[in-house]
Structure formats: structure tokens, C-alpha cells
Structure 1
Amino acid sequence: MKPVEYDRMFREEDVYWWFVGRRRLATVLLENSLPARNLRILDVGCGTGAMSRELMRFGSVVSTDLSALAIGYGRQRQLTGLCCADATALPFADASFDAVVALDLLEHIADDLLAVREFARVLAPGGHLVATVPAYQFLWSGHDLALMHHRRYTRRSFGDLLASGGLSTVRLTYAMTALFPIVWLVRRRSKKPGSEEATIQPVPRWLNKVLIRVLDMENAYLRRADLPYGVSVAAVARRIR
């Protein structure tokens, strides 16, 4: 990502509806999938560290990001276990972790299959990957350019990627469904030549609270069932051997 996006993320990650909703989505997937606590967890592409902080209630956390700037923000959150590392060449031994978390990371990586294979390598047998990616190429906009994305995914393409990387899919669903019409309209309007601006824009406090509440209701539904479309694709996958 561009440096300005890390600064924006650090300032907004604790309160902005998108980050809060995505973090709570990951928590729902983790609570439904992980068999125990006191786990060894790797947060790949940790960004400025808010998710890593949440993960600490599940066990010990190692947080990696390719950006030294992101790692610096993580230190400001007083996180431990920070490591500047490439997701396609993780500096850890085979079977080092019980869970790997990668939220909105794979779209940034040219060789996303190599990254998934690395996730599978560092997972212990029976270990789980929890990951999210942006959905639908037709939603491509200046937001994706600003965040230096290579692609967006469908449920099928994401599932195929995980299988090719040596993981067995446990759960594969769309997410951020309620906000799909709004995001679709915003992205269409932002498709101007040369436009490269992330759509993390200030909203009134009352609206931010409403959007968080909407995503909370959606995430509660995801505890029981999948969603047929959405702005994101979310997956839980397992290493078999």
C-alpha cells in the first residue's frame, strides 16, 4: 500500500466501520473454527496492528508485514512478536503455527498462490487459515489502485486458489453483503481516469455507528449460515497433512 494509506489506517482502524466490521467478521470465523485457546497464531499482512491485538485472546501472536512503516505503527500499539517479512517467503519453520490470519492481503501479492502455499507450509497439520479478500472484479476502482491491488476474487476463484495451495476449504462465504449496493454505487462514481483514492472517507459519527451495527447483525447471521454475495469473500481453510 501507499504510505499515506498506512497512516490513514492507523488513525481510523479502531473506530472506522469498515475496519471494525472486518475485525469482528474474522473473530466470528475464528470462534467458529478454532478448537482451543492458547494457540500459536500468525497474522500475515498485519497492517497497523489492530487485528493482532484482538488475536491475543486466542493465544500467542506473531505479526508480519512487508512494510517497515506498518511494523512501526504496530510498535506504537505496543505489540510484541513483530516481524518485517514477505508473505511469499515467511521466515518460519514448517508447521510453526496453529492458525494463520490474512485479512485483505492476497490481493496485494502478484503471486498469490505462492503466498497460500507458504501459509500451508507454516501451518501445523489440522491448523486453520482465516482469510478475507475483496470480491468481484467489476467493483474494481481507484480504491484498488490506491491500495495497490492486483485483483479481486469470486467465491469460486478464491476456493480454487486455496485448494491449489494445499488447503482444504472449511468455510467459504461472501461478506459485507448489506453494504454491497452502496459500495457498488460509490465505486462506479469513482471510476475516473487516473483516479487512485481509497474510499476510506470520513462519515458522521452517527452513520459510522449505524454501519457498525448493520455489520454486527450480518456477522451474527454468519455464525449460522453463509451469504450469497458481498463486497468481500471470507474463508476458513485447513491443512490436512
Structure 2
Amino acid sequence: MITMDFDGAFPVQPGMSLLDVGAGQGRHSFEALRRGAVVTAFDMNESDLADIKGMFGAMELEGEVPDGASGSVLHGDARSMPFEDATFDRVIASEILEHIHEDDTVMAEIFRVVKPGGLVAVSVPRRWPERICWQLSDAYHEVEGGHIRIYRASELVAKLSRAGLQPYKQHHAHALHSPYWWLKCAVGTDNNDNPAVRAYHRLLVWDMMQAPFATRFTETALNPVAGKSFVVYLRKPEANV
């Protein structure tokens, strides 16, 4: 499930250096690696990083890694990243800022490590679908490491702009996932054996694996109204000469 628009607003070309902040399960890191980038998956969860490292190795064995591309993992805290200033051509921060109290600090770090002229892609849960999840289930957000805030789109863009980044495009994504999470929140976020949850999950997996026209068209049409994620793309200004 790819959130960022690698084919349009956020192009990743062979040889580019890319940082995936809060990489999670690595979905964006894997896609960037397939496109020839030099990828660093950065996260606090060492178990997730071990899985990503294993997948990087499997991709190389399967011939999915272009010449010159590479994938590495690094454990650390997004509030204080161990990189030199202006290190990366591209930075992704997908669904992490809603977990961190010091989001301004993370935004400042993202600005610091991206190169002048480099691009940043940020996604967070969209406000109104997220509010429904919070209303249906305390367990959805009142857990260690869970969501601590719900952003307005304008609030997120303003904060990133104050950090020094210049927004140039935005959109919504994953409309088909909004009802799935409402359903999970209604029956219990850990109740994966619920028949309705299992059936909907099978539908989402089928859609991700097969990408049939009917579901792709439906989600594209519904994203502006019900997309679960809000995505904004930003640029770090070129350095003054």
C-alpha cells in the first residue's frame, strides 16, 4: 500500500538518497529501492527494522534492486537524527507525526537533513475519518505509542511551513481503508477474528495484490471525500548563493 505519489508529485530517480523516517513495515522504503534509490529506513522499532533488512536482502536475491541502489536500516529517534545537514535528496515521513508529542522538533530535523531543493512527503490520518475512529474506540488511540493528536490539514501544512519547507501539492489517499478502520474500532481493534473484519481485510489484500480496475477507480473517486490519509509534498528552498 503506497501512499506517496512516486510517479508524479514525489519522483524518485536512480541514485537519489532517500530517508524513510519512521519506516514502519518498510512499504515506502521497498518501493524507493525498486526505483533505484539509496534508501535508509529509520525507525525506533528494532524488530521492524530487522524485518525490513531481511526484505532488502530478499529483494536483492530476487533481482529487484537496480544497479547502484541499496537499502540499509538504522535505529534511532526522529527528534534527533544522526545525519549530517543536507544529506538526503528525498525524505518521507508517513503516519508518524501523529504519534510524537514534539512534532515541531521532528519537522525541524526533517528540514535539516534534506538537501536544498530536495523534496519531502508527509502523510497523517485525515481529520474526519480519524475523529470517527477516536469516537468509536478509546483503545484505538489510548495505547502506548498510539495517536496523540488529530491534525487539521491546514494546521499540518502551517507547521511544516514554519519549519522552512514550501508546500507545493497535496491530496488524500486510501478511501477504502476508512470503513475498515471504523469497523475495527466498532468491534474491537484487536478483534481480528470478527467475520466482517476478516472479510474486509481479504478485500483490501486482494485489491493491493491485484489492483483491479473497479476498486482502483472507486478509491480514486472517493479519495477526495473519504481518503483516510492526508498527504502533503514540500520542497526545501535552494540555498542562497
TM-score by structure 1 length?
0.73
Map of 2:25 onto structure 1: 48
Show structure 1 runs of 5+ residues with no match: 1-19
Aligned residue identity for 1:172: Q
Confirm or deny: 8 A CA contact 1:180 1:230 kept in the other structure: yes
Confirm or deny: 8 A CA contact 1:155 1:174 kept in the other structure: no
Q: Write the distance in 1 (CA, Å) between the matches of 2:168 and 2:192.
A: 31
Gap change, CA 1:50 and 1:210, over 3 Å in 2: closer
Confirm or deny: 8 A CA contact 1:143 1:198 kept in the other structure: no
Alignment of 1:1-241 (within 5 A): 20=1, 23=2, 25-26=3-4, 29-33=5-9, 34=11, 36-56=13-33, 57-78=35-56, 80-136=71-127, 138=131, 139-140=133-134, 141=137, 142-146=139-143, 148-180=146-178, 183-184=181-182, 186-187=184-185, 189=186, 197=190, 202-203=198-199, 207-208=203-204, 211-212=207-208, 213=211, 216-217=216-217, 227-241=224-238
> What are the Cα deviations for residues 87-144 of structure 1, in whole angstroms up to 9, with x where unaligned?
1111101110000011111111111111011111101111111121112252324223
Q: Give the number of aligned pairs.
A: 209
In the TM superposition, residue 236 of structure 1 has moved relative to its aligned partner by 0.7
Confirm or deny: 8 A CA contact 1:144 1:198 kept in the other structure: no
Greater mean deviation of Cα atoms: 172-181 or 126-135: 172-181
Aligned residue identity for 1:150: I
Confirm or deny: 8 A CA contact 1:176 1:218 kept in the other structure: no
Confirm or deny: 8 A CA contact 2:180 2:200 kept in the other structure: no
Aligned residue identity for 2:30: R
In the TM superposition, residue 170 of structure 1 has moved relative to its aligned partner by 1.2
In the TM superposition, residue 51 of structure 1 has moved relative to its aligned partner by 2.4
SS of the residue corresponding to residue 95 of structure 1 reads: coil
State the identity %.
Answer: 24
Confirm or deny: 8 A CA contact 1:128 1:238 kept in the other structure: yes
Gap change, CA 1:181 and 1:39, over 3 Å in 2: same
Confirm or deny: 8 A CA contact 1:176 1:215 kept in the other structure: no
Confirm or deny: 8 A CA contact 1:183 1:231 kept in the other structure: no
Show structure 2 runs of 5+ residues with no match: 58-70
TM-score by structure 2 length?
0.73
Q: Write the distance in 1 (CA, Å) between the matches of 2:236 and 2:174.
A: 26
> What are the Cα deviations for residues 24-64 of structure 1, in whole angstroms up to 9, with x where unaligned?
x31xx222133743211001111132321111114110111
Q: Write the distance in 2 (CA, Å) between the matches of 1:155 and 1:205.
A: 28
SS of the residue corresponding to residue 82 of structure 1 reads: strand
Q: Write the distance in 1 (CA, Å) between the matches of 2:180 and 2:146.
A: 22
Q: Write the distance in 1 (CA, Å) between the matches of 2:217 and 2:157.
A: 25
Gap change, CA 1:101 and 1:215, over 3 Å in 2: farther
Larger Rg: 2
SS of the residue corresponding to residue 101 of structure 1 reads: strand
Confirm or deny: 8 A CA contact 1:129 1:237 kept in the other structure: yes
- When the two chains are superposed, the root-mean-square deviation of aligned CA atoms in Å is 3.0
Q: Write the distance in 2 (CA, Å) between the matches of 1:218 and 1:239.
A: 34
Q: Write the distance in 2 (CA, Å) between the matches of 1:69 and 1:112.
A: 24
